[in-house]
Amino acid sequence: MRIGALSLIAALTLASISTQAQEKPADSIADNPEIRKSVVKIFTTSREPDLARPYKKQDPEESSGSGVVIDGKRILTNNHVVRYAQRILVQPEGSSDKLKARVVATGAGIDLAVIELEDATFFDSHPPITFADQLPEVGQGVVSYGYPLGGDALSITKGIVSRIEYAPYDSDTMGLRIQVDAALNHGNSGGPVVSGDKLVGIVFSGIDTAQNIGYLIPVDEVKAFLEDIADGRYDSRPQLYLSLQTLENDALRSFLKMPKGWNGIVVSKSFDESSGNPLRKWDVIDTIGEHDIDDAGMVTVKPNLRLSFEYFVPKLAAGGMIELGIIRAGEKMTVKVPVASTRHRVIRGLNGGYPSFFLIGPLQFTPVYEEHRGIDARLLAMRGSPILNRGLDEPAFEGEELVAGPFRMFAHATSKGYDAGFFPILKSVNGVAIKNLRHLVETLRDLKDEYVTFEWHDDAVESLVFRREELINSTEEILDDNSIRSQMSDDLKDVWNTTGH
């Protein structure tokens, strides 16, 4: 079990693909010398977080990916290629030079990143690639450039566009996705896929159980990302966060008084009136802008291309709202519905950051992150862990955070006879319900009781009782024995140190 494994899209990223590329004969590929000049190999040395030991990073790992030169003397690649990178080197095609680079912008959700070189003269002889003006057609031929494992030379493979869809990426992000049948492998990530001499997409993932199925981030999403980061910050595009179901069942249509020829997608969960969202359970969303929505929630974008109606949300939203046509109790009306760039969940992702943590005695605590959910789902389910059963919940109150106990307690006399399982979710300390990690630190800081009792939400996890003075006094000894430099992450020091601990 590798506790530090982090990405929600790890099952899809090209790092997990081991099938050997089956390249077409060289004479069947329209190699473009100018494109070659724009493609680079990216070497990274990265240190990911270690959720089992949140007070330290994992050991350095070497990896490589691909990238392409774009306007502004920049290089575009995948976020997962440079995530947690401590060092980035860029190697041009046909050269042994490795140039120092740094990350200037990332979009974890859409899996894109921009890097810059310390020596900008590189761009004098390496021109930016030209972007396509529109989506490719299904069946259109494409060529992939990149550096998959198995050699140092630039690899070029040919394929066709198999499918275009509006699909989930990471961190609740939705976007266009292009499926191609070109042979793509680990190392192709971040590389360009072109049609003719223009970029149609950036390689970002594949499926490890299938051959010659790869996915691209299309130019539409790339352009939106670059516009987003123009102010130096990635905000993500506005989206609708709704519970929906199809309107294909005849009984459901009759129940909702939907005559023949009326179509749409059904809202399956009402919103609290205080949320500002006017949608109610059983509303049928039938139009978005000028586009009719069918009973599966799809709209016709152009001949032979149907996408989820949510494709138009970022295009039509304005001022944090979007106008939708709905049918309620057999009557048509128009409503304005709020949109947001992120969904508020009680469990959030690390998104390229490192976990907060607090250590006291033999215990360590950290907020629950999305990455915890992939650790041992079977055991977590047996314990009824909130890590699983609250994974999609919105916070029950402002600032709510699940607080996880240790993966394993530190060996010390104070922990004699105790077994807290792994990552139990803290319920209370001396009867005080814990709201979040900062609240836990405040509670422990202010305690004057002789004993400290920790209770957990999980089934079959032992309650832990310590003498308060022993718990506090053992902390430094445990830190020293385990070569841990700090009792807590920097964001908590202002809380704990207010009374001189």
Residues 73-120 pLDDT 10s: 999 999 999 999 999 999 999 899 999 999 999 998 999 999 999 999
Cα gap 88→71, rounded to integer Å: 20
Determine the pLDDT at residue 10: 40
**Total domains present in the chain:** 3
Point out the residues that are catalytic. Answer: 80, 111, 189
The domain that holds 325 is classified in CATH as 2.30.42.10
59 is a domain residue: yes
Distance in angstroms (rounded) separating the CA atoms of residues 171 and 476: 37
Q: Same structural domain for residues 194 and 249?
A: no
In one-letter notation, the amino acid at residue 420 is: A
Which has the closest alpha carbon to 106: 463, 386, 349? 349
- Is 155 in the same domain as 178? yes
* Cα distance from N-terminal residue to C-terminal residue, the chain: 36
Indicate whether 283 and 314 sit together in one domain.
yes
Output the domain CATH number for residue 145.
2.40.10.120
Could you tell me if 362 and 316 lie in one domain?
no
Same domain, 163 and 300: no
Per-residue pLDDT band at 151 (split at 50, 70, 90): confident
In a domain, 262, yes or no: yes
pLDDT higher than threshold 90 for residue 414: yes
* Any domain includes 425: yes
CA 479 to chain centre: 33
Whole-number Å distance between alpha carbons of 217 and 215: 7
In a domain, 351, yes or no: no
DSSP 274: G
Contact 197, 5 (CB under 8 A): no
Which domain range does residue 333 map to? 244-338
Q: What is the mean pLDDT of the chain?
A: 90
Q: Provide the edge-to-edge strand list for the sheet that holds 432-433.
A: 432-433, 426-429, 451-456, 464-467
Q: Is residue 194 part of a domain?
A: yes
Query: Which tokens sit at 185?
Result: 């492998």
Nearest to 458 by CA among 423, 429, 424: 424
Neighbour-count burial of 110, counting CB atoms closer than 10 A to its CB (0-12 exposed, 13-18 middle, 19+ buried)? buried
Distance separating alpha carbons of residues 493 and 402, to the nearest angstrom: 20
Backbone angles phi, psi at 316, to 5 degrees: -110, -15
Considering the domain architecture, whether residues 65 and 174 belong to the same structural domain is answered as: yes
Pair type for strands 198-206 and 305-308: unpaired
Residue where a domain stops, chosen among 231, 261, 289 = 231
For range 114-142, the mean pLDDT:
95
* Chain position carrying tokens 């030079």: 97
- The reply to whether 127 and 186 lie within a common domain is yes
350 located within any domain:
no
Residues 249 and 287 in one domain: yes
Instruction: Give 35-45 pLDDT, tens digit per residue.
Output: 999 999 999 99
pLDDT at residue 377 tops 50: yes
Q: What is the pLDDT of residue 480?
A: 97
